[in-house]
């Protein structure tokens, strides 16, 4: 057995009597032991410490002769004079908790805490030195599961990438305001909502946003409109619908000054910027290209189309044609052709610029 001073006493941390009893050497206790009150019965507890003073601590202290004795030295655990449970090291030394002969938890004299780290240099350090699966902290609800792949996890993966994962397959909420309300959500489907907790797209911002440079992968700027037509497909030209304010209709006459744009999405060109949000109209909503590049259906039966030609509406519903009469074309131009169409009808890439 290791020989040290094992003091079982009423430890007074206010100016009172010091140790009730001190024994130097090894101690063996068989059966129950009652310290502090001879009249009390230990009942089913093997060791009972009691203190009759209301101004003192009741504690067990473990001290080493090399560092000195006294009520301010060593490791202790017990109750303070407010009946609060306390344990710790009274000296300027580190305290550790071990399992399987390895130190798992460390608290330094400066108050730094290490989990898996015996020399923590921050207020909390979580480390793993004995495996290759990374190091993670997990917050789990035992009612829904407490296995390795449950709960909210944060830490480093095996490649030392920062890792944040909600393995409950629910949303992750972020909040900075008072009242516990969330301001941002990372939904379980990967969508990020800022100012909304129900993002409808991959990034959904409900409010203003400021950027220095916005890089858009699409080809045109489009706005959602209701289009009144039995058949309206991407690439067709639409005009203002005089019978339905705010709506559009397929163009159906040449040199139509009510021309509004091209239904976006034909060919391999998709909208880059989409204005409008309401897709609930009974008539349906279509992205209509107002600027940029878009494919457009063109009728070249009257005149072939070459890159650079101005395009206007034709008598064929939804189709453009090359401008021949520039006087009539004023206010009815949809844009400039960027690819040719020698004859017949087909798709032509258009640089949309209404004029």
Q: Does a structural domain hold residue 210?
A: no
Could you give the residue ranges of the DSSP H alpha helices within the chain?
Answer: 326-329
Same domain, 5 and 107: no
Structural domain total, the chain: 5
Same domain, 229 and 346: yes
What percent of the chain is modeled with pLDDT above 70?
77
Same domain, 233 and 142: no
Same domain, 258 and 144: no
- What pLDDT does 38 receive? 54
Same domain, 105 and 188: no
More confident position, 51 or 59: 59
> How far is the C-alpha of 352 from the C-alpha of 220, rounded, in Å?
8
118-159 pLDDT, tens digit each: 889 889 888 876 556 678 788 877 776 667 677 888 888 778
Q: CATH number of the domain at 301, please.
A: 2.40.300.10
Give the three-state DSSP class for 285. Answer: strand
Same domain, 274 and 323: yes
Burial (CB count within 10 angstroms: exposed 0-12, middle 13-18, buried 19+), residue 208? exposed
Checking if the pLDDT of 12 tops 60, the result is: no
Q: Does a structural domain hold residue 214?
A: no
Give the three-state DSSP class for 276. Answer: coil
Same domain, 37 and 76: yes
pLDDT band, very low/low/confident/very high, at 257 (cuts 50, 70, 90): very high
Q: Does a structural domain hold residue 215?
A: no
Same domain, 319 and 275: yes
Q: Does a structural domain hold residue 263?
A: yes
Domain that holds residue 260: 220-353
- What pLDDT does 19 receive? 42
> How far is the C-alpha of 91 from the C-alpha of 61, rounded, in Å?
12
Same domain, 311 and 234: yes
Same domain, 3 and 114: no
Same domain, 122 and 152: no
Checking if the pLDDT of 52 tops 80, the result is: no
Q: Does a structural domain hold residue 341?
A: yes
Average pLDDT over residues 200-213: 90
Are 299 and 305 a contacting pair, CB within 8 Å?
A: no
Give the three-state DSSP class for 179. Answer: helix
Nearest 10 degrees: Cα torsion 101, 104, 105, 109? 60
Same domain, 308 and 248: yes
Checking if the pLDDT of 9 tops 50, the result is: no
Q: Does a structural domain hold residue 213?
A: no
């Amino acid at each position: 057995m290791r020989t040290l001073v094992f003091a079982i006493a009423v430890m007074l941390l206010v100016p009172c009597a010091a140790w009730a009893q001190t024994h130097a050497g090894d101690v063996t206790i068989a059966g129950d032991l009652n310290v502090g009150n001879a009249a009390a019965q230990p009942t089913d507890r093997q060791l009972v410490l009691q203190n009759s003073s209301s101004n003192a601590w009741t504690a067990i202290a473990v001290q080493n002769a090399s560092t000195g004795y006294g009520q301010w030295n060593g490791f202790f655990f017990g109750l303070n004079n407010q009946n609060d449970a306390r344990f710790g090291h009274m000296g300027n030394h580190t305290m550790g908790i071990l399992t399987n002969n390895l130190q798992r938890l460390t608290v330094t004299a400066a108050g730094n805490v290490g989990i898996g780290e015996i020399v923590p240099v921050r207020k909390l350090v979580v480390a793993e030195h004995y495996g290759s699966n990374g190091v993670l902290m997990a917050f789990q609800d035992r009612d829904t599961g407490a296995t390795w792949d449950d709960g909210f996890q944060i830490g480093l993966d095996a490649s030392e990438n920062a890792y944040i994962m909600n393995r409950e397959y629910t949303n992750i909420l972020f909040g900075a305001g008072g009242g516990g309300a969330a301001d941002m959500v990372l939904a379980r489907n990967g969508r990020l909502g800022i100012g909304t907790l129900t993002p409808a797209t991959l990034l959904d911002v409900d409010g203003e946003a400021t950027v220095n440079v916005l890089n858009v992968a699409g080809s045109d700027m489009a706005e959602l409109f209701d289009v009144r037509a039995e058949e309206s497909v991407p690439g067709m030209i639409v005009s203002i619908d005089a019978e339905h304010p705010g709506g559009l209709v397929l163009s159906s006459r040449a040199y139509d000054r009510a021309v509004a744009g091209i239904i976006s999405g034909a060919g391999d060109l998709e909208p880059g910027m989409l204005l409008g949000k309401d897709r609930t109209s009974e008539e349906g909503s279509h992205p209509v290209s107002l600027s940029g590049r878009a494919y457009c259906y063109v009728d070249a039966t009257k005149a072939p189309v070459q890159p650079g030609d101005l395009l206007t509406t034709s008598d064929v519903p939804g189709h453009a044609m090359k401008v021949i009469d520039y006087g009539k074309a004023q206010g009815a131009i949809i844009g400039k052709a960027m690819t040719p169409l020698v004859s017949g009808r087909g798709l032509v890439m258009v640089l949309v610029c209404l004029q």
